[in-house]
Amino acid sequence: MTPAAVEILPAGRIRLVETALPELSGRHRSAMDRAWEEAVRANPALFDGPVAALTGLERDGSDGLVLSWARATYRYRALRRVPDAPEYASLFVSVVQPADDGRLLVGRMAPSTASPGRWQLPGGTVEPPEGDGELDFTTLRAHAARELAEETGSDTPPDSLTGWLTTRGQSGNVGVMFTAPPRPAQELCDRYAQLVRTETAHGDEPEFDRIDLIGSPADLERLEGPLADYLRPVVGAHAAA
């Protein structure tokens, strides 16, 4: 996927609307289940937990978006491996965490994750609220803060995160980006190192097996491994700002 395939959308206002997940045919559901089972055999760390699948995106004025979503599970992603099957885009959040020198923190996904070796911003797929809970901008921001802490060790209050922009990739996946307050570069590295020590001592594998600080799109060239489709344009937008 090329950077040109990623669209940067306005994010001044975001409204989320819950919808029903479209029904699958019996043939597609059986094929999805088989594809999921194959994926789990290849990576036993995968789990079929709840996710918010993106079912629609509409512009709302000049700076607003309406995101429609439905309750699904991770196995629906296996439909991407099924010929002629409907695809469900993902809704995710990411955090732009700058160092005090302007560089951005990026991480490489560990081998046990769904995207091993991929470099990306801290963040993750949005989970639906429990019960009758509402999925709104405040929920997205809290989820982004939790992902930042779990992946990098930087514990930032949700209220300190600021909505910045939204991206839509070629496959339709939509990411809501937040910016965090700058921290000293050494502090970011130290917090991540402490997280690794703690999780390793508990027998767990950190979601990021490595982090780096990136100052411009040109710095991405030295990273070994694939990049999240949004990473280059987002780093470019931050550098330009």
**Which residues are paired to 163 by β-bridges?**
178
Cα(30)–Cα(36) distance, integer angstroms:
10
Cα(37)–Cα(134) distance, integer angstroms:
31
**Which residues are paired to 176 by β-bridges?**
93, 166
Burial 21-51 (b: 16+ CB within 10 A, else e): eeebeeebbebbeebbeebbeeeeebeeeeb
pLDDT of 1 reads 36
Q: Quick one: what percent of the chain has pLDDT higher than 90?
A: 80
Compute the mean pLDDT over every residue in the chain, rounded to the nearest whole number.
93
Domain count of the fold of the chain: 1
- Whether the per-residue pLDDT at 11 is higher than 80: the answer is no
- Nearest CA to 65 out of 57, 54, 77 is that of 57
Which of 46-50, 88-92, 171-175, 193-197 is most confident?
Answer: 193-197
Cα(150)–Cα(171) distance, integer angstroms:
27
Distance of CA 234 to the CA centre of its chain: 13
pLDDT of 171 reads 84
Three-state secondary-structure class, residue 24: coil
Tokens of 93: 């959040």
How far separated are the first and last CA of the chain, in Å rounded?
24
- Whether the per-residue pLDDT at 2 is higher than 50: the answer is no
CA dihedral 152, 110, 80, 28 (to 10 degrees): -100
- Give the CB-side neighbour count of residue 237, counting CA atoms within 13 A: 18
Cα(54)–Cα(66) distance, integer angstroms:
11
- Whether the per-residue pLDDT at 237 is higher than 60: the answer is yes
- Nearest CA to 137 out of 10, 30, 16 is that of 16
pLDDT classification of 211: cutoffs 50, 70, 90: very high
Contact present, 33 and 90 (Cβ < 8 Å) = no
pLDDT of 3 reads 39
AA letter at 48:
D
pLDDT of 8 reads 92
* 11: CATH: 3.90.79.10
Q: Distances in Å between the alpha carbon of 71 and those of 12, 92, 126, 161, 229?
A: 25, 14, 10, 26, 24
pLDDT of 114 reads 85
- Whether the per-residue pLDDT at 10 is higher than 80: the answer is no
Q: Flag whether the pTM goes above 0.95.
A: no
Q: What is the mean pLDDT of the segment spanning 118-123?
A: 98
Q: Please give the residue that has the higher pLDDT: either 55 or 131.
A: 55
pLDDT tens track for 147-195: 999 999 999 999 999 999 999 997 899 999 999 999 999 999 999 999 9
Q: Quick one: what percent of the chain has pLDDT higher than 70?
A: 98
For residue 130, what are the domain limits? Answer: 3-240
pLDDT tens track for 49-87: 999 999 999 999 888 999 999 999 999 989 988 888 888
pLDDT of 146 reads 97
pLDDT of 160 reads 97
